[in-house]
Homo-oligomer: A and B are copies of this chain.
Amino acid sequence: MDKEITSDSFLDTCLSKCATNEYIQQIKKSLPPDHELIELANFFKVFGEHTRIRILSALYHHELCVCDLVEILGMTQSAVSHQLRVLRTSKIVKYRKEGKNVYYSLDDEHVYKLIDDGLEHVKESMVKK
C-alpha cells in the first residue's frame, strides 16, 4: 500500500456531510478487497494467542518435534497438537515426518519478519512506560 491520499476538505466535515463526501467514497475504494482483509485478520489472529506465540518463539531458532514442544511449553500433548494444527492450517508452520516423529518449523520469512517487528514494537512500548 502507498501512503497518503491528500485532500483539503474531508477532514473538517463530519457525518451529515461525509455521507456524500467523495473522499469517503474514494477511501472506501482504496481499501483492500474484503476477502483479503478477512484473510489478513485470520492470519494475525493465529499469532495473537499465548500458546501459539510460544510455539512460534521456540521454532524461531530450531526445528522441533511435538514432544520437544510439549516439554518446552509444559503443556499436554493434546493441547500442543491442537494448536499445531491451527498453525499448520494457516500455513504459518510446515512439518516433515520422520519415523514416529513429526518435526515442525516456521513456514517462511514473513513469519520471522512479523515476529521481529512485533517484538521490537512490544519492547519499545514497554520502555515508554
Contacts and interface: CB of A to CB of B under 8 A. Distances in A.
Nearest to A126: B39
Count of this chain's copies in the oligomeric assembly: 2
Interface residues of A, number: 72
A30 interface: yes
Contact of A63 (B11, B44, B60, B119): B11
Interface in A27-60: 27-28, 30-32, 36-50, 52-54, 57-58, 60
Interface string A7-40: 1001100110111000010011011100011111
Given A14-B68, A32-B57, 15 more contacts: A1-B115, A7-B77, A11-B65, A14-B70, A17-B101, A18-B71, A19-B68, A19-B71, A27-B61, A36-B122, A39-B125, A40-B115, A41-B47, A43-B118, A114-B114
